[in-house]
């Protein structure tokens, strides 16, 4: 009987922009605790899953010393990993929205696959094994965790998506810092380190899988009142003109423009991850190389948290343009400082790179909602996030170029070109300027 009364209190509301809200159920009624719990679970799972990407640079040079393995082949394995990881985002969201892939199942599968990827890196005797175990299985596992955690933030924090997405996305980068340090301190213990890391990753993500849940579709918290919130310009500076379904994105010109901005940002970040440690170690030794890679992960993680918190107030398109500019300038600083063995300049360039290209994914979460509305935010994000897969191919080419020439210069030009292109982004359906009334 109490359940029937609770269900009767559930209402469906709609605001002036056509957005629907389900009100009447509190987070404590649905979860048994505050929804902040979901932020902690998602961040913990992302801390564990991100080791495969941001920790890769710390062991790339060690892997390339294996007889018969080349640096180009190792970097290509990272590219295939990124393709599988980014390519999983949309299918995972699509299946989950149709009830075919519950969050606990997706997370549990991701836990097993992430652990398999790390164990493979520690014990593989052939590059083919690396491509299958790390690139494909590990990439798909990380994609399952990433898409599920970002989707959870979108579902549980419709009123604070930017700040919560920044925390969760930042955890994906920052979690690898301890691994990077340990991998440099004890390079000979790489198999043991990866086995222990795999066990920790499996336990953390599986534990989060057992507790992570999604709310009902269009759920809204008890406060603030949704229709008043929708009209509050402090939170909704430029609400979407209409709500796009995934199929409609492909007929929208803004989708292509935004996709072409994300591709270079992803390419430059993956290039830095793949080559920065090797480039620095060859000129200044492994100690500075480890510091540079750890700083890149830390700057990316902290930058995502800060940008997620303030982007809505300052304007996401403007911040995106500034971030890409910073990331482009950072590549020239990295190249110059590395060539001339300037440790301070190198670390400054690393910080700029992390705050620049590394923060674009957090901005993408908010831009997808700002441009394409609330009908299918997780699926729409998955479509745009797949640009990372294309960027992985470009970034691999840059890493190959870096072996014979100034790859950082090419990366810098690519990021600056993306910044210029981002200036042409426009909200679909909204005129660029208003004509005066006669």
3 state DSSP class of 32: coil
With respect to residue 181, please indicate whether it lies within any of the assigned structural domains.
Answer: yes
Q: Tokens 């953390």 map to which residue?
A: 204
Q: Looking at the predicted structure, is the pLDDT value of residue 304 above 90?
A: yes
pTM assigned to the model:
0.93
The whole-number average pLDDT for the span 99-112 is 97
Cβ(408)–Cβ(331) under 8 Å? yes
Element (H, E) at 11: strand 11-14
The whole-number average pLDDT for the span 190-219 is 96
With respect to residue 33, please indicate whether it lies within any of the assigned structural domains.
Answer: yes
Alpha carbons 60 and 282: distance in angstroms, whole number:
13
Pairing of strands 20-23, 11-14: antiparallel
The whole-number average pLDDT for the span 395-402 is 81
With respect to residue 385, please indicate whether it lies within any of the assigned structural domains.
Answer: yes
With respect to residue 119, please indicate whether it lies within any of the assigned structural domains.
Answer: yes
Taking phi over 0 as left and psi of -120 to 50 as alpha, with beta for the rest, 32 belongs to left
With respect to residue 103, please indicate whether it lies within any of the assigned structural domains.
Answer: yes
How confident is the model at residue 404, as a pLDDT?
62
- The residues that bridge with 20 in the sheet, in sequence order, are 14
**Between 109 and 232, whose confidence is greater?**
109
The whole-number average pLDDT for the span 294-303 is 93
Q: Looking at the predicted structure, is the pLDDT value of residue 361 above 50?
A: yes
- Say how many domains are in the chain: 1
Cβ(276)–Cβ(389) under 8 Å? no
* Domain range enclosing 194: 23-221+246-422
With respect to residue 143, please indicate whether it lies within any of the assigned structural domains.
Answer: yes
The whole-number average pLDDT for the span 161-186 is 91
Return contacts of 364-368, CB within 8 angstroms, 24+ apart: 364/258, 364/262, 365/150, 365/153, 365/154, 365/161, 365/162, 365/165, 365/169, 365/308, 366/161, 366/162, 366/165, 366/308, 366/311, 366/312, 366/316, 367/258, 367/316, 367/317, 367/320, 367/425
Give the CATH number for residue 217: 1.20.1250.20
Predicted confidence band of residue 223 (pLDDT cuts 50, 70, 90): confident
Predicted confidence band of residue 5 (pLDDT cuts 50, 70, 90): very low
With respect to residue 169, please indicate whether it lies within any of the assigned structural domains.
Answer: yes
Q: Tokens 């990827």 map to which residue?
A: 117
CA dihedral 288, 292, 293, 295 (to 10 degrees): 130
How confident is the model at residue 76, as a pLDDT?
92
With respect to residue 125, please indicate whether it lies within any of the assigned structural domains.
Answer: yes
Q: Which two tokens stand for residue 6?
A: 């609770």
């Amino acid at each position: 009987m109490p359940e029937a009364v609770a269900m009767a209190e559930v209402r469906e509301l709609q605001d002036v922009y056509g957005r629907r809200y389900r009100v009447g159920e509190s987070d404590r009624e649905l979860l048994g605790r505050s929804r902040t719990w979901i932020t902690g679970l998602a961040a913990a799972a992302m801390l564990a899953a991100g080791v495969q990407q941001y920790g890769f640079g710390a062991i790339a040079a060690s892997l390339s010393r294996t007889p018969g393995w080349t640096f180009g082949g190792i970097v290509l394995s990272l590219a295939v990993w990124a393709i599988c990881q980014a390519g999983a985002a949309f299918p995972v969201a699509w299946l989950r929205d149709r009830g075919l892939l519950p969050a606990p199942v997706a997370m549990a599968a991701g836990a097993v696959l992430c652990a398999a990827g790390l164990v493979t890196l520690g014990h593989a005797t052939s590059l083919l094994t690396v491509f299958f175990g790390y690139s494909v299985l590990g990439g798909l596992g990380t994609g399952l965790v990433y898409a599920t955690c970002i989707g959870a933030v979108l579902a549980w924090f419709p009123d604070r998506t930017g700040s919560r997405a920044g925390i969760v996305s930042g955890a994906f980068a920052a979690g690898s810092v301890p691994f990077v340090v340990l991998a440099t301190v004890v390079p000979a213990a790489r198999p043991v380190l990866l086995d222990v890391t795999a066990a920790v990753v499996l336990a953390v993500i599986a534990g989060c899988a057992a507790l992570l849940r999604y709310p009902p579709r269009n759920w809204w918290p008890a406060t603030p009142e949704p229709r008043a919130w929708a009209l509050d310009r402090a939170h909704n500076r430029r609400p979407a003109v209409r709500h796009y379904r995934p199929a409609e994105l492909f007929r929208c010109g803004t989708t292509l423009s935004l996709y072409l901005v994300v591709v270079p940002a992803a390419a430059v970040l993956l290039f830095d991850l793949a080559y920065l440690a090797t480039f620095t170690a060859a000129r200044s030794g492994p100690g500075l190389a480890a510091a540079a890679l750890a700083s890149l992960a830390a700057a990316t993680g902290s930058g995502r948290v800060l940008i997620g918190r303030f982007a809505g107030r300052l304007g996401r398109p403007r911040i995106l343009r500034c971030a890409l500019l910073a990331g482009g300038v950072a590549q020239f600083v990295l190249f110059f400082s590395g060539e001339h063995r300037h440790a301070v300049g190198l670390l400054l360039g690393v910080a700029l790179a992390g705050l620049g290209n590394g923060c674009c994914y957090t901005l993408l979460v908010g831009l997808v909602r700002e441009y394409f509305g609330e009908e299918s935010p997780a699926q729409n994000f998955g479509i745009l996030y797949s640009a990372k897969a294309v960027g992985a191919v470009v970034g691999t080419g840059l890493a190959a170029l870096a072996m014979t020439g100034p790859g950082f210069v090419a990366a810098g030009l690519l990021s600056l070109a993306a910044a210029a292109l981002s200036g042409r982004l426009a909200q679909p359906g909204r005129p660029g300027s208003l004509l005066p009334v006669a």
